[in-house]
Amino acid sequence: MIDVQSNAAQAGTFALGGDLPVHRLGFGAMRIVGEGVWGPPRDRDEALAVLRRAVELGVSFIDTADSYGPAISEELIREALHPYPEDLVIATKAGLARTGPSQWHRLGRPEYLKQQAEMSLRHLGLERLDLFQLHRIDPEVPLADQLGALMELRAEGKIRHIGLSEVTVDELSAARAIAPVASVQNRYDAAFREHEEVLDQCERDGIAFLPWAPVARGELAGPDSPLAAIAAEHGVSPVQLSLAWLLHRSPVMVPIPGTSRVAHLEENTAAAAVRLTEDETERIGRFLGA
């Protein structure tokens, strides 16, 4: 069995943008807010404990967004962890407006993106955002205008690196003609691989790939997981095997599993210690229909 005290550092490191090293098993801070990613958490003390425990377990990369709450996730991160450890990288996002629980609306007007970056700096208690991601490309606004706003923020020293979320290979290429791109955050897991071409492009160009919903929104995590039998062979849980598979799939992969419970966080982080051979990685891929 894998020790639940395993450290995220065992997953190895990746240098975001070529100059910002993070442990490759991060934490996604969407689930620490209320239902529908709206409002305060049901258990505030547990949410704060999750964040503090993540850092204790070696997590050096936390991903959040202005729309989580809205703003509440960023505020909880500051409350739990500020002043931040020197090696902690906090990434946030803007470009989705919220009007209620589970309601998301693309909004990429340059003035809005700049406003939200300023708000994120305030909520997180930072002078510079290490990674600021365009949460979604807004089809109603020229891409050059959206990324132009982020480039202006970068020139002002308010953000360090620029990231994208839910993009195609063509969109990634178009974006890179306008601005340097340090990361791409697309949905991806062992059973959902519609973005293989994007991952391959990121690997060729040294761009971090941040898979959201890395355990298929929980479908690969429970006792009925299609990975349950293979996980048992390794003496690990299905969620640990799922995350380990991602880490072995590509050196640019930086999974960001999220949770609102310390026990689940410890289980997730233990995946950093799981070792798979190349043959085992390919076997899992074939088993899930790659």
Enumerate domains of the chain plus CATH numbers: 8-287 (3.20.20.100)
Q: Which long-range contacts (CB under 8 A, 24 or more apart) does 107-112 make?
A: 107/138, 108/134, 108/136, 108/137, 108/138, 108/140, 108/141, 108/145, 108/146, 109/138, 109/141, 109/145, 110/141, 110/145, 110/146, 110/148, 110/149, 111/149
Q: What is the pLDDT of residue 218?
A: 65
Residue 198 near residue 185 (C-beta atoms within 8 A): no
What percent of the chain is predicted at pLDDT more than 90?
A: 86
Tokens of 138: 């807004």
SS3 187: strand
Residue 227 has pLDDT above 90, yes or no: no
Active site residue 112: no
Among residues 68, 84, 112, 188, the one annotated as catalytic is: 68
Residue 186 near residue 198 (C-beta atoms within 8 A): yes
Residue 27 has pLDDT above 60, yes or no: yes
The average confidence (pLDDT) of the chain is 94
Residue 274: C-alpha distances to residues 105, 118, 185, 285 (Å)? 38, 39, 23, 16
Q: How confident is the model at residue 4 (pLDDT cuts 50, 70, 90)?
A: low
Residue 5: C-alpha distances to residues 50, 64, 65, 125, 265 (Å)? 14, 24, 28, 29, 10
Tokens of 135: 């949460």
Q: What is the pLDDT of residue 86?
A: 96
Q: How many CA atoms lie within 13 A of 206 on its CB side?
A: 10
**Terminal Cα-to-Cα distance of the chain (whole angstroms):** 27
Residue 43 has pLDDT above 60, yes or no: yes
Tokens of 251: 């050196």
Tokens of 260: 């609102």
Q: What is the pLDDT of residue 255?
A: 97
Nearest CA to 17 out of 179, 149, 137 is that of 179
Q: Is 279 exposed, middle or buried (0-12, 13-18, 19+ CB in 10 A)?
A: exposed
Q: What is the pLDDT of residue 210?
A: 98
Q: What is the pLDDT of residue 286?
A: 82
Q: How confident is the model at residue 22 (pLDDT cuts 50, 70, 90)?
A: very high
Residue 1 has pLDDT above 90, yes or no: no
Q: What is the pLDDT of residue 5?
A: 60
Residue 141 near residue 102 (C-beta atoms within 8 A): no
Q: How confident is the model at residue 3 (pLDDT cuts 50, 70, 90)?
A: low
